[in-house]
């Protein structure tokens, strides 16, 4: 069963985007983890990074994000509108697929202990992972913010952390927990009077008599009064009910809503509920959404390996070659990112960033070649099926076949060219990248070389069957040059693996 956990980590930095880049890179370098969204706000001086992954992957990625934030964010220098107590302010885990809330609670507690022990950062557990009822609410843990907590953590027994030292360093403290999906939703008013936003927030939030599952604050952002809210259970208190209450309360003070914004991601169901309510679509069903229907149809399509094994002529060897090179490029990007952010490899960090970008570009192009090769072979088959009764039909058919065969040769030849580029990048990351990932660099090279050889076979078979042997000779000449370049790259790769990895290849 597929297991997916979401993490919506909040970091106290929204102005130095290069710092957020480092945090994102640290998170995305973990295998099995994907960064879905990042949003930064300069007034709040805060960034929200949303990522998903396997239980093991998400836990490691969150630790690396916290570790990187602790290195680059100094809470002694931090100022911003949003309440906060640490460089990594809050790290909630959300069960998405194949995991339970209990699983997320275990992740939160393991991570909390690791952060407290290894990074010496005080950790408080909240929401479903809380060890005490008064710590379920995040606002209680943020009381006094970083500045107030500095003294309270040392003198007040109630502020003792769940893990880590009872003392704040420059990274502050971190709150870690498990919760259901949350919607971070902000409403801007057409006034700069923060007092009005604060009154509206008081009327809306549950703790002061407002709507259940709503937390709210009033603040000044971009010169406008803002009602900043967290909707903790949209299935019981939907977003449309919240915004309508804000609208009515604003009218009491002679102001109105200027605009609103989402911070991070929102469940599709919440938007569908809002659309259904506002449009009065009483009989609406979720599968009437085009994208939902399309995703359902696409989910029924076979995976690439299943399509490859299906006994049909396409996809075939050319597509498989491109797919192998795609994986090789992905591994190169992984090694480059595992090198970035490490002090030991500071001299090559800029170059590793360039390599990661090149590998990503090659990966995207090779992924497209998987489909293009299959389509090219199908075009050849279609050309052979053209009518050939008359001489005109025979001539048109022969021309179509020749044209299709040329295209079917050019695609795998381009795959060979890109595989050589991947090989050279694999050799470079093996020579200068993180030695802990030397075997991954070697695997990238092996996959790229195998992909090159497979694609070369497809070039040769097409060269034998075209009428234009001048073009065929050019393909083969180019192929020979690329294979020679590949041999040089493989030699570099093997030398680096022997020298830096101590592995005989």
Domain segments of the chain as ranges: 4-178, 183-266, 304-501
User: Confidence class of residue 264 from pLDDT cuts 50, 70 and 90?
Assistant: confident
| The pLDDT of residue 441 | 95
Output 504 or 103, whichever has higher pLDDT.
103
| The pLDDT of residue 299 | 61
Right CATH number for 4-178 from 3.30.990.10, 1.10.8.60, 3.40.50.10700, 3.10.20.310?
Answer: 3.30.990.10
Q: Is 317's pLDDT higher than 60?
A: yes
Q: Report the greatest alpha carbon distance in the chain.
A: 98
The 10 Å CB-count burial string (b at 16+, else e) for 244-261 is: ebbeebbeebebeeeeee
Q: Is 362's pLDDT higher than 90?
A: yes
State CA 29 to chain mean position distance.
Answer: 10
CB 405, CB 380: distance < 8 Å: yes
Task: Give 180-225 pLDDT, tens digit per residue.
Answer: 989 999 999 999 999 999 999 999 999 999 999 999 999 999 899 9
Q: Is 300's pLDDT higher than 70?
A: no
The CATH number that domain 304-501 falls under is 1.20.120.680
CB 182, CB 92: distance < 8 Å: yes
Is there a shared CATH topology between the 4-178 domain and the 183-266 domain?
no
Task: Give 381-422 pLDDT, tens digit per residue.
Answer: 888 899 988 999 899 999 999 999 999 999 999 999 999 999
- Rounded to 10 degrees, what is the CA torsion of 470, 475, 480, 485? 140
44 as an active site residue: the answer is no
H or E, element range at 442: helix 438-465
Tokens 């500095």 map to which residue? 150
CB 205, CB 214: distance < 8 Å: yes
Please give the CATH architecture assigned to the domain spanning 183-266.
Answer: 2-Layer Sandwich (3.30)
Structure tokens at 148: 């107030």
Task: Give 420-432 pLDDT, tens digit per residue.
Answer: 999 999 999 999 9
**Helix axis angle, 101-118 to 55-72, nearest 10°:** 40
Q: What is the rounded average pLDDT for all residues in the chain? A: 93
Q: Is 302's pLDDT higher than 80?
A: no
For the purposes of burial, counting CB atoms within 10 Å of the CB of 152, is it exposed (0-12), middle (13-18) or buried (19 or more)? middle
Contacts of 390 (CB under 8 A, 6+ apart): none
Share of the chain above pLDDT 90, in %: 80
Q: From the candidates 78, 82, 406, 449, give the one annotated as an active-site residue.
A: 82
Residue among 486, 473, 466, 181 nearest 325 (CA): 486
Structure tokens at 414: 């381009």
Residue among 359, 342, 436 nearest 25 (CA): 342
Cβ–Cβ contacts within 10 Å for residue 57, how many? 19
Assess whether the previous peptide bond of 479 is cis (omega < 30° from 0).
Answer: no
> Taking residues 256-272, what's their average pLDDT?
91
Phi, psi dihedrals of residue 188, rounded to the nearest 5°: -100, 140
């Amino acid at each position: 069963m597929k297991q997916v956990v979401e993490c919506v980590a909040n970091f106290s930095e929204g102005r130095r985007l290069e710092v957020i880049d480092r945090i994102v890179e640290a998170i995305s370098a973990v295998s099995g983890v994907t960064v879905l969204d990042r949003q930064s706000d300069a007034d709040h001086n805060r960034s929200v990074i949303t990522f998903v992954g396997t239980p093991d992957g998400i836990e490691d990625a969150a630790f690396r994000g916290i570790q990187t934030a602790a290195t680059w964010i100094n809470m002694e220098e931090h100022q911003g509108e949003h309440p906060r107590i640490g460089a990594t302010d809050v790290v909630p885990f959300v069960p998405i697929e194949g995991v339970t809330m209990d699983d997320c609670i275990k992740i939160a507690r393991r991570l909390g202990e690791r952060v407290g022990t290894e990074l010496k950062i005080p950790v408080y557990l909240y929401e479903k992972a809380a060890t005490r009822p008064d710590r379920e609410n995040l606002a209680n843990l943020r009381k006094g913010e970083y500045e107030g907590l500095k003294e309270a953590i040392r003198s007040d027994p109630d502020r003792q952390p769940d893990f880590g030292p009872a003392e704040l360093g420059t990274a502050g403290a971190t709150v870690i927990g498990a919760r259901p999906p949350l919607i971070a939703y902000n409403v801007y008013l057409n006034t700069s009077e923060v007092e009005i936003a604060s009154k509206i927030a008081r009327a809306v939030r549950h703790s002061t008599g407002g709507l259940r599952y709503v937390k709210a604050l009033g603040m000044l952002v971009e010169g406008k009064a803002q009602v900043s809210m967290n909707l903790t259970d949209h299935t019981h208190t939907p977003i449309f009910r919240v915004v309508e209450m804000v609208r009515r309360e604003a009218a009491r003070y002679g102001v109105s809503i200027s605009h609103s914004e989402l911070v991070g991601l929102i469940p599709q169901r919440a938007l569908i509920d809002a659309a259904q309510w506002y449009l009065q679509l009483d009989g609406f069903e979720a599968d009437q959404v085009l994208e939902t229907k399309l995703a359902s149809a696409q989910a029924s399509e076979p995976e690439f390996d299943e399509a490859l094994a299906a006994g049909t002529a396409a996809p075939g060897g050319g597509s498989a070659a491109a797919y192998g090179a795609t994986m090789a490029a992905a591994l190169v990007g992984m090694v480059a990112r595992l090198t970035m952010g490490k002090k030991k490899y500071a001299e090559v960090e800029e170059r590793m960033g360039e390599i990661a970008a090149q590998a990503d570009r090659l990966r995207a192009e090779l992924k497209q070649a998987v489909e293009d090769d299959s389509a090219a072979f199908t075009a050849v088959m279609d050309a052979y099926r053209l009518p050939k009764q008359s001489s005109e039909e025979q001539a048109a058919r022969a021309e179509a076949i020749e044209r299709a065969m040329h295209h079917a040769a050019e695609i795998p030849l381009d795959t060979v060219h890109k595989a050589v580029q991947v090989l050279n990048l694999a050799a470079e990351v093996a020579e200068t990248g993180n030695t802990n990932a030397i075997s991954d660099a070697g695997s990238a090279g092996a996959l790229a070389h195998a992909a090159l050889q497979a694609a070369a076979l497809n070039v040769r078979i097409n060269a034998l069957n075209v009428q234009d042997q001048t073009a065929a000779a050019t393909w083969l000449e180019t192929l020979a040059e690329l294979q020679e370049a590949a041999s040089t790259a493989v030699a570099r790769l093997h030398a680096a693996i022997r020298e830096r990895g101590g592995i005989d290849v």
